[in-house]
Structure 1
Amino acid sequence: MPRPNWLQQIRESGAINHISQGRFDRLDLPALQAITNDYLLAAGPGSFPWRERQPVACRSAECDALLAGHMAGLEGELYVSEAALLACLHVLTGVQLRAQLEALHDIAADRDPTALTFFRLRFRLYLHCLEVALDQRPDVFARFSETESHEGVVVEQLLAVMDASTSGSRPDSADGFPLIWRLLWGMTRGGRRNVSQLEHLPDDTIAFALQRFRLGNMLQEKLGQLSRAYRWRHVRELVKGVGGVAHLPRARAILEKVLPKYAMWAAWEPDKERLKRWGRPAAAPHLRLLEPLFLLEGPDTTGSQRRTLLQASKSSPAEGCCELDGSSPVVPVVPVVPSSSTSLEPSYPWSPQEASNSWASTPLTPPVDPMSGMSVEERMLHYLDDAINVGPEAVNLFIYLFADLFRPESMDVEHRFTSALELRDDLSCRVLLNHLKATQNPADTPVAAAATSLAAALPIIGTRLRLQEYYGAKLRLRFRAPEVLKAAQREFCDLLLQDNTYGGRSVPGRDDDAGPAEAAGLAVQALGRAMLCAAWLREDWTGEFVDALRRMPATREQVKADFRQLEHCSDSGARRQRVHDLAYRLGASRLGGGGGGPPAASASMPDVSSMSSGISSPPQMASPPQTTIGLLAFNEVPFFVLPPSALPRPVLPPMTLPFRPSPAAGGRRPPPPPPSQPSRRPPPPVALRPPPSPPPPPPPPAEDVIMSEPLTGDRDRLRALIRAIPGVPASLTAACTRQARTEHDLVVRKLVDMLGTGLTDQVCVNLANYLAPQQQREGGGGVLLHECWRDLLLHAMRQLPAGLLDRNYKGLLLDTWNRWLDALPRLLGDRFLDDGAGGGVVGFTREAMERLSAKKTALHRSRSMNTLASGRTGRTSFVSVRSTP
């Protein structure tokens, strides 16, 4: 029987084609090594021809001599040499394997600069063969007790360098990019154990490979690209660990070639959590605006080798700057003089006395906060982190407040930002930002937009004392709110007069398309109700002004209904009456010649020519003509006076403010006139004296925090259903309302469907069985179940009559019963039990649950056995029932 040709089988296996093409992933290494195993079984010598040959022992001198003889004549065939070595490296001794690897290294180490492609292929073949040998023969290469071979790390990183260089790809992130620090770690690991160099990968071979494959150029190019985009997290992934090996001579020699500014990167130790936080979508649109803060957490470009640029600026401000390996020059941090260009304090034509009493000069921001000990730059970074945690609108508020080189003018600006972030609500930050923009630029803000932003901000400002101080008192909101309301009322009255159809709609018949006058009326109503509910704001307002706020419609639907009636009104007298009613209630105005309230519907409107000498004006103000609109002071008669017919756009005379002089604000009340001198103010004409005042209106309703949340659709309906549950606390309703804004639409729809049928036993069971899987996903990375839904379930069960456990025992199927009893402990712990913490549901005890569960299980099994005995059905009789604790 002839001996099989070992090399011939290797040539015919197809492995050489895969190796020559560089497709090592298609190489079937087990099949290739099986050829060597079969050859050794049949290659042993025999004593007699009729006896079976004995196999050659693996890792023996005879095996080495046999296989080395076959590979001796393959010096010119690189592909065949590697295929043969891969096929037999598992059966060679350690000495022979090292000799074969050394011979393959001499073949691959052709450093002819003209044979770049051939060098890449040869060196790649050698590295691949060495990688397989390190993986399959750890006994030969294991020098230390660690499980990971340092030569294996070097081989892995060199192959990654070659793959990235030959493919020409430039990944967008640092993931998959060759990590220089792992390569250096693998090289220097042996040096720490008194081993001068790697046995099969000397320093000159590694340096030559890195130079030929342009690792230095690739690394510097990638660092510059990521640094210009302020993606410090990915930059950190590339250069991390350099500081641990930069002090070693062998690593320093490589770093000087591939990373010239390695000392700067080695000293860089940023906050990892901060870099991770900056990669969130909230900060992505503002990379250029936040550039000064991003640079502070970057490497120290001043040359002092501090942990970050912030640390360098705290120790000694730098005078120069350097570049981040190809990136644009970095501007050093220099002291900035606070500017007044971003002042948020509005300038309105108030009296000098009120201005001096209301405005107090605030000190500039100190370089170091005496309370926290943080510098201005550290506080800005801390504020940015908090804003990113809240959301994108909080980041917009941060940029708006600290846009001037991120240096606050005063501590008030910092307190204004921190008080807004205490709400931890991104939508509230947007509302407060719109309020600040309208306050800072009153001339560029439309009247309707100013009224809408103020109406949305007042309920939020009223929830915190700090918000009332820094968004109310510091911005003189008690003066500005009536001024904005008066401007909105003027605009409403002007639009009501200019519109010949008195608030006609641009598209008749459509309720969602309001005309100009109706839109202005809705803005006035929203602002008026918000001001009425803000009890903390109306301390210095006159009673007449508050009465005018109470006369406004309570809801938007009432305003829309008034305009619908006006639109469909055909009688001219009735139309004028409705116009008068709208002007009186929304615009705090009335038609000239009328009384203190709106005239009766049947009364005819008086003619201007039949009126007496006119309207009495405030002191030092000429009496306006009868054909113009005269504005009386709010502290006398809190409404406008309109002519009986529509006139061109009128010119409004100045108006007085609806305030009483406040001694608390620093002002002094004017001394009363002497008894001998009568008042200089003439009494109003008889024709304009109001009728006897009606009985005082009821006190304004308290601010409804629950209904102030802007919700629509299913979320609004869910809020109404929760409020309809008997005895539900206001705090629980508010918590569920806030949480409903963040829940998924399907979750909200499911809760609406379950609660829409009313509070019954089955609703509580369905609610528990639906919330239990949500709770079960907490440990698996799912959405956490908020505590308010658990409290809602417990409250709903307590509102049902006693005997809920007995009724469900009789009405539920066994599977539903078991799932319900399993869901309650997972959701509520022991709170639903009578003896649990915080009170439980009547009748829910461990003994009663175990007793009823065992009884229900036994009854179900009995029925199943009876069904099998009678043969009435072919279904499975027994049901797997889990034991209930």
Structure 2
Amino acid sequence: MPVRRPSWQEQLRQTRAKERLLAAEPDRFPLAELQEISNWFLKSKSPVIRRGAGIAPRSEECDILFANELVSVKNEFPTHETAIIACLHLLSYDQARGQILSVKPDPDTSPSDNLFLDHRLPVYLQCIILSRHASPGVCTDDELVAAEELLGVVRGKAKDFPSMLRQLQAVGQETVESLLPLKLVKKCLRRSHYRENLLHEFETLRKQRKWFDAHKLVCGLRNLMVLPRVDQLLREVFPEYPMWVAWRPDARRIAAWEGSTIAPYRHQIRHVLDLEGPDTTGQQRGTLRRSSPHVFTAFVRMSNWPVLDRLLDDLDTCLGIGPATVDLLYALCIEQSGGYRHFSPRAMDQLEAALELRRDDASKTLANLTRSIANHNSNNNSINDRVVAFTAALPLLTAHPRLQKPFGEMYDLARRAPTTLSSAQRQFCHLLAENRASERLALNVLALGRALLRAAWLHDRWQPAYISMLRNMPSEHEIRSTFRSLSDSASSSHRLGLMDFLATRLGGTVLRTGSTASVTVPVQVEAEDPIWYARMDIDRENLRRMLRSMSKGTPASVIDMSVTTACVKQSFAEPDNFVRELTGIMIDDTDQVCVNLARFLGPRSITGVGRVHESWRTLLLHMMRRRPPGMLERCAEQLSLQSWQSWLDNMRRIFTDNRHMGADGRLGFTTDKFRDYTQRKMGVGRSLSTSTWSTASTGTP
């Protein structure tokens, strides 16, 4: 007995089609398998109904055959939908489309939202999608795209904004109304939290003032407004859309705001950026500043619209210069003004004067000055910080007179700058009296004093005595040398002298310790030239070491630092053998070394042979002066007649101006003494010569 073949419905149930539909996996749906089952069923029924010719696909008989078969599974979900898809390719257009419409769920009559959204709606959307593959003419391209996008929504895979725009583009067409009515689409969009996602997207961009990104999204929405159903959908799922669609910012401006220049200050100047943002007041103006510009509302009431336009234009200019210039805008127009509600057009005058320089470093200097003045009484604004700010700003204002009125006069620098210097001087002297002197503060005080001295445009506001005090401040080298001496000195009187020097010359006062003034000890402060620390070859380094030793010791034996410094510098201009031989001569501090140095320099001083630099002449003179008194007498006694006469000749060649003679020479050298000692030595020489001749003639010893 032949085995009975399962019915068409039973064969469909045995496939995995239902599982794929419930899993919302149309790509894995076994469409070919189901179509083969339907083809077999149609072929098997043909001899029974009509002997001879079979039932033709898409014929009335075929439509009736499958319509009757579908009735038996009508209440069997999702077997009914599976059966429709299985026979769809065999049905006529009207029958096929009618069968798809028959399974369209009604959101109003669905027993459960979860059942509707989790099962019936996804299965229905897959019927539309698969119908396009089974029978291409059953649904349109718009219906296919709309179904695919909505299926992505219910599956939770379409939450980004571009996919939202694609959804609106697809479901906004009137041609999809029959298969995808508006009510069904709205429920689907609510299921996807479309409104929440859209609001979150725009709110995030609004809080960050990312207007350019928001503008790109808005352009996408605006382009969809021509679609008939989009307006209705947006009113339902995105009621704020009229504000965004009405927004008309300057696209080039907000694009420039996306750069890295503005990034560090985006939050600080957020209310300025809001002016080019959407109109949040509900008036649907092109930008907020054309409506009621939030914190700047007071200016609108004063009919002061151009001020806000200027502010945005200035911000555009700032971005073209650099981040420090954006910070200057914030410091002047917002921070200094005490907030947006006290925003002053005068601050914009200052800003625009600074913008003319088009220098980001200058903007940074002016921003620091502005904050230093605005935060004068703040605990975070130390005296040292104020000194640095004024020191940097004064040369800038001096070099650019255009800035002197908006910054110099408005900030009253003629009073504030000296006041700041005075505060720094008091602090320095206070630390000095407590033996905690700060070299850094001392140098900062000097720098501000020098800046004030060069600011001649302020001098007519000050007393001559004050300018004289600025002019008498010590040099940087003197200050550094004094601090080195303070750290090295063991003598209390010497330390007090150094401290008094700093207090009077730099601090502008007399140092006091306790209740009585300290005793002022004259201090000779020598500035050390950088040449003393420059890199040199070994010969010049040895010479420099010898010269440095000559500048140390007791005051009577010390050679002035300016003399030795000049020699070190001149050594670079001399030949190597000159330096090497000179160093070999200056190995000690004796009379003979001075004589040898004269013998070295003398022949080189003869016209036509060479020229001895003035520094070496001065060095020899000071070396002789540092010798104990009586050098002339000692040399006359120790030198032979020939060496004596050679020494005198070399001295005349070296000191053609006779600077070594008389009272000015401070050596005790006079013409009479030279003559007397020469005659004596010559007399001794003749006596020795006669004695030698007599001894030789008599043969006696």
Q: Deviations over 1:700-721 (max 9, x none)?
A: xxxxxxxxxxxxxxxxxxxxxx
One-letter identity of the residue aligned with 1:297? G
**Kindly, what percent of the aligned residue pairs are identical?**
27
Question: Any conservation in 2 of the 1:452–1:523 contact (CA below 8 Å)?
Answer: yes
Q: 1:377 aligns with which of 305, 308, 313?
A: 308
Question: Hey, what does 2:278 align to over in structure 1?
Answer: 298
Question: Any conservation in 2 of the 1:452–1:527 contact (CA below 8 Å)?
Answer: yes
Could you say what secondary structure the match of 2:297 adopts?
coil
Distance 2:17 2:61 in 1: 22
Q: Deviations over 1:852-876 (max 9, x none)?
A: xxxxxxxxxxxxxxxxxxxxxxxxx
Question: Hey, what does 1:436 align to over in structure 2?
Answer: 370
Deviation at 1:101, TM superposition (A): 2.5
Deviation at 1:496, TM superposition (A): 0.9
Question: Any conservation in 2 of the 1:498–1:648 contact (CA below 8 Å)?
Answer: no
Q: 2:334 aligns with which of 396, 399, 417?
A: 399
Could you say what secondary structure the match of 1:527 adopts?
helix
Q: How does 1:178-197 map to 2 (within 5 A)?
A: 178-179=164-165, 185-190=169-174
Task: Give the count of matched residue pairs.
Answer: 499
Alignment of 1:451 with 2:387, yes or no, is yes
CA 225–524 in structure 1, closer or farther in 2 if over 3 Å, else same: closer
Question: Hey, what does 1:103 align to over in structure 2?
Answer: 102
Alignment of 1:409 with 2:344, yes or no, is yes
Q: How does 1:350-389 map to 2 (within 5 A)?
A: 367=304, 375-387=306-318
Question: Hey, what does 2:179 align to over in structure 1?
Answer: 200
Q: 2:514 aligns with which of 631, 647, 671?
A: 647
Q: Deviations over 1:335-393 (max 9, x none)?
A: 4789xxxxxxxxxxxxxxxxxxxxxxxxxxx936xxxxxx1222233334555674363
Distance 2:280 2:241 in 1: 12
Question: Any conservation in 1 of the 2:249–2:276 contact (CA below 8 Å)?
Answer: no
Question: Any conservation in 1 of the 2:209–2:266 contact (CA below 8 Å)?
Answer: no
Question: Any conservation in 2 of the 1:255–1:262 contact (CA below 8 Å)?
Answer: yes
Q: TM-score, normalised by structure 1?
A: 0.46
Question: Any conservation in 2 of the 1:74–1:81 contact (CA below 8 Å)?
Answer: yes
Q: Deviations over 1:406-456 (max 9, x none)?
A: 66434x421322344456666654432221122345455543221011123
Q: 2:420 aligns with which of 472, 477, 484?
A: 484
Alignment of 1:582 with 2:579, yes or no, is no
Distance 1:488 1:388 in 2: 36
Q: Deviations over 1:15-58 (max 9, x none)?
A: 53343244x38x525xx245357769989979xxxxxxxxx999
Q: 2:122 aligns with which of 107, 111, 124?
A: 124
Could you say what secondary structure the match of 1:78 adopts?
coil
One-letter identity of the residue aligned with 1:527? L
Distance 1:41 1:463 in 2: 95
CA 20–44 in structure 1, closer or farther in 2 if over 3 Å, else same: closer
Question: Any conservation in 2 of the 1:553–1:586 contact (CA below 8 Å)?
Answer: no
Choose between structure 1 and 2: higher helix proportion: 2
Question: Hey, what does 2:543 align to over in structure 1?
Answer: none
Q: How does 1:6-25 map to 2 (within 5 A)?
A: 14=16, 16-22=18-24, 24=25
Question: Any conservation in 1 of the 2:265–2:327 contact (CA below 8 Å)?
Answer: no
Q: Deviations over 1:651-689 (max 9, x none)?
A: xxxxxxxxxxxxxxxxxxxxxxxxxxxxxxxxxxxxx9x
Could you say what secondary structure the match of 1:487 adopts?
helix
Q: Deviations over 1:188-226 (max 9, x none)?
A: 544xxxx6x633223343355556777567766876787
Distance 1:267 1:578 in 2: 75
Question: Any conservation in 2 of the 1:6–1:35 contact (CA below 8 Å)?
Answer: no
Q: TM-score, normalised by structure 2?
A: 0.56
Q: How does 1:76-91 map to 2 (within 5 A)?
A: 76-82=75-81
Q: Deviations over 1:796-847 (max 9, x none)?
A: xxxxxxxxxxxxxxxxxxxxxxxxxxxxxxxxxxxxxxxxxxxxxxxxxxxx
One-letter identity of the residue aligned with 1:570? A
Q: Deviations over 1:157-189 (max 9, x none)?
A: 54455456xx9x9x8xx746845xx65554554
Question: Any conservation in 2 of the 1:243–1:266 contact (CA below 8 Å)?
Answer: yes
Distance 1:539 1:5 in 2: 114
Question: Any conservation in 1 of the 2:425–2:506 contact (CA below 8 Å)?
Answer: yes
Q: Deviations over 1:291-334 (max 9, x none)?
A: 4762663226254x432333345xxx9xxxxxxxxxxxx78934
Deviation at 1:400, TM superposition (A): 1.9
Could you say what secondary structure the match of 2:249 adopts?
coil
One-letter identity of the residue aligned with 2:497? Q
Deviation at 1:119, TM superposition (A): 0.9
Distance 2:6 2:516 in 1: 111
CA 159–571 in structure 1, closer or farther in 2 if over 3 Å, else same: same
Question: Any conservation in 2 of the 1:188–1:248 contact (CA below 8 Å)?
Answer: yes
One-letter identity of the residue aligned with 1:79? P
Distance 2:131 2:191 in 1: 25
CA 15–252 in structure 1, closer or farther in 2 if over 3 Å, else same: same
Deviation at 1:8, TM superposition (A): 7.0
Q: Deviations over 1:714-748 (max 9, x none)?
A: xxxxxxxxxxxxxxxxxxxxxxxxxxxxxxxxxxx
Alignment of 1:475 with 2:411, yes or no, is yes
Q: 2:147 aligns with which of 155, 158, 169?
A: 155
Deviation at 1:73, TM superposition (A): 4.5
CA 309–37 in structure 1, closer or farther in 2 if over 3 Å, else same: same
Question: Any conservation in 1 of the 2:296–2:340 contact (CA below 8 Å)?
Answer: no
Q: Name the stretch that deviates more: 36-45 or 117-126.
A: 36-45
Alignment of 1:518 with 2:439, yes or no, is yes
CA 125–284 in structure 1, closer or farther in 2 if over 3 Å, else same: farther
Q: How does 1:819-834 map to 2 (within 5 A)?
A: none
Q: Deviations over 1:253-301 (max 9, x none)?
A: 4455445565444433334455556667846876587447626632262
Q: How does 1:713-792 map to 2 (within 5 A)?
A: none
One-letter identity of the residue aligned with 1:123? L
Question: Hey, what does 2:297 align to over in structure 1?
Answer: 333
Structure 1 residues without counterparts, runs of 5 or longer? 47-55, 143-148, 318-329, 339-365, 369-374, 504-516, 590-639, 651-687, 691-696, 698-885
CA 418–649 in structure 1, closer or farther in 2 if over 3 Å, else same: farther
Q: How does 1:245-256 map to 2 (within 5 A)?
A: 250-256=229-235
One-letter identity of the residue aligned with 1:396? Y
One-letter identity of the residue aligned with 2:308? E
Whichever of the two has the greater Rg, that structure is 2
Deviation at 1:118, TM superposition (A): 1.0
Could you say what secondary structure the match of 1:333 adopts?
helix
Deviation at 1:472, TM superposition (A): 3.2
Distance 1:272 1:88 in 2: 55
Q: 1:115 aligns with which of 112, 115, 120?
A: 112
One-letter identity of the residue aligned with 1:455? T
CA 307–134 in structure 1, closer or farther in 2 if over 3 Å, else same: farther
Question: Any conservation in 2 of the 1:6–1:36 contact (CA below 8 Å)?
Answer: no
One-letter identity of the residue aligned with 1:436? T
Question: Any conservation in 1 of the 2:17–2:82 contact (CA below 8 Å)?
Answer: yes
Distance 2:498 2:384 in 1: 23
Distance 1:110 1:336 in 2: 50
Distance 2:461 2:354 in 1: 26
CA 14–187 in structure 1, closer or farther in 2 if over 3 Å, else same: closer
Distance 2:418 2:266 in 1: 36
CA 394–482 in structure 1, closer or farther in 2 if over 3 Å, else same: closer
Q: Deviations over 1:606-651 (max 9, x none)?
A: xxxxxxxxxxxxxxxxxxxxxxxxxxxxxxxxxx4x25x623599x
Question: Any conservation in 1 of the 2:271–2:295 contact (CA below 8 Å)?
Answer: no
Distance 2:226 2:43 in 1: 58
Question: Hey, what does 1:309 align to over in structure 2?
Answer: 288
